[in-house]
Amino acid sequence: MPKPLAVRGNRNTVRLVRTGVNRAFEGLLRARTRQLTSQAYNKEEPIAMVWNWKKTGIRTAALLLGSALLLPGISTLTAHAATPYKAKEGDTFWLLSKQYGVPLQTLMDANPKIDPLNIYAGLDLTIPAAAEATAVLKQAAASAPAAQQAQSITTLAGETLTYSKVLNVTASAYSDAPEENGWGPVDYFGNPLKLGTIAVDPKVIPFGTSVYITGYDFSGLPQGGMIAKASDSGSAIKGNRIDIFVPGTPAFVNKFGLQNVKVYVLK
């Protein structure tokens, strides 16, 4: 991530910045000095007072410019900076988000045309600055609608779950067979596949979201509903689609077919 200009620049750069500070205030200082000189003559004040102000004024002026002009400019460069990045073999959005300290969803939003499952060596990506990512998250939180009245659903086991919204999606199922998992029996983050893992379109259900799924009919899944976590993705999982991991052989899992289910996005 690019550093602020005053930190990143060499001595010549810093010297130029400081020269700009002095020149920017040179005219102001001359005008103010002439004004005070005139006042000193008219009021018969000692000329030394005028020159004393000039000596102290240059420092004050520099400080004022630094706080009013220079620092905001540097902050703006830092906040809106983004780094072009050329992908290496083995890169994933998850690994890059950890490497650069940027939230995963923010990183993916900065690369909307990139398929998370098709990141290859030489692919051009954009890494948003951490400051920019934080600002985006704060802006999203500030523009979010006021909190709605809490909604809840009770599982067959009697557990009450609070949710923010409900999605009607089409669900399929997948196993841990090698032909179904090009990276091995692991999810997008490298965790072993287990009951409760689902593949999602992160633009619809962000990675890391916990959900409660109901409406399916399959012996390989808990009866009545199940809690799952969005931690995987698939090339065919776009829009209102999910793929539910089910332990078992491909022949058994394929019996799930396609089913319409409800997904409660948990708070």
Q: What is the reported pLDDT for 23?
A: 44
Contact 136, 106 (CB under 8 A): yes
- Given a cut of 70, whether residue 85 has pLDDT beyond it is yes
Q: Of 215, 116, 207, which is closest to residue 168 (Cα–Cα)?
A: 215
Domain ranges in the chain?
Answer: 5-80, 82-143, 151-266
CA distance 16 to 12: 6
Kindly report the backbone phi and psi dihedral angles of residue 92, in degrees, each rounded to the nearest multiple of 5, phi listed first: -135, 160
Model-level pTM greater than 0.85? no
Alpha-carbon dihedral angle through residues 216, 241, 187, 110, given to the nearest 10 degrees: -150
Higher pLDDT, 68 or 84: 84
Mean pLDDT, range 1-19, rounded to an integer:
36
- Given a cut of 60, whether residue 51 has pLDDT beyond it is no
| Angle made by CA atoms 115, 117, 122, in degrees to the nearest 5 | 75
pLDDT, one tens digit per residue, over 121-176 is 999 999 998 755 555 555 555 554 544 456 999 998 899 999 999 999 999 999 99
- For 151-266, give the CATH class: mainly beta
CA distance 4 to 1: 10
* Confidence grade of residue 177 (pLDDT, cut at 50, 70, 90): very high
Q: Which residues contact 127 (CB under 8 A, 6 or more apart)?
A: 1, 82, 83, 84, 85, 96, 100, 102, 107, 110
For 110, 111, 114, 200, the CA distances from 235, given in Å and listed in that order, are 19, 16, 12, 10
Q: What is the reported pLDDT for 231?
A: 96
Highest-confidence segment of 68-82, 174-188, 191-205 = 191-205
Q: What is the reported pLDDT for 15?
A: 35
**Sign of the torsion formed by the C-alpha atoms of 179, 182, 184 and 185:** negative
Q: What is the reported pLDDT for 115?
A: 87
CATH of 82-143, one of 3.10.310.30, 1.10.510.10, 3.20.20.105, 3.10.350.10: 3.10.350.10
